Amino acid sequence: MIGMWQAMVIDCEDPSALATFYEQLLGMIRLDDQPDWVSIGDAPDRPGLAFAAVTPYVAPAWPGHISPAQAHVDVKVKDLDLAEEQVLALGATLTGEGSDTFRVYLDPQQHPFCLVSW
């Protein structure tokens, strides 16, 4: 195991409004509330849902792939450098995007996912 599932992240226009919808739908609580990022879950130490503001936001079309669904998995790791080495060996591709607390990769079929550490 390289890391633990942290969150399913859904790109959206208004993270707070979408988080409120899912809080009410799933009975979850708000764990992190920032202008461009909101996360909800059962408890701070369990995987949850997160909502990230993206601009411009283009809503997905269903069914179809002209404007596909926009979500990715966050994987919490202890050591970003070590985890990066391991996921690259599994066939992931580094996108070059991220910060000192997260890095963005593509899986072997080009779906984005993030390694996170905080």
Which residues lie across from 98 on neighbouring strands?
103
Which residues lie across from 33 on neighbouring strands?
38
Provide the pLDDT for residue 118. 84
Evaluate if residue 64 carries a pLDDT over 80.
no
Provide the pLDDT for residue 60. 86
Q: Which residues, at least 6 apart from 56, have a Cβ–Cβ distance to it below 8 Å?
A: none
Provide the pLDDT for residue 111. 87
Provide the pLDDT for residue 113. 93
The pLDDT tens digits for 27-58 are 999 999 999 999 999 988 898 999 999 999 98
Mean pLDDT computed over 83-108 = 95
Burial status of residue 40 (CB atoms within 10 A of its CB: 0-12, 13-18, 19 or more): buried
Rounded Cα gap, residues 6 and 13, in angstroms: 22
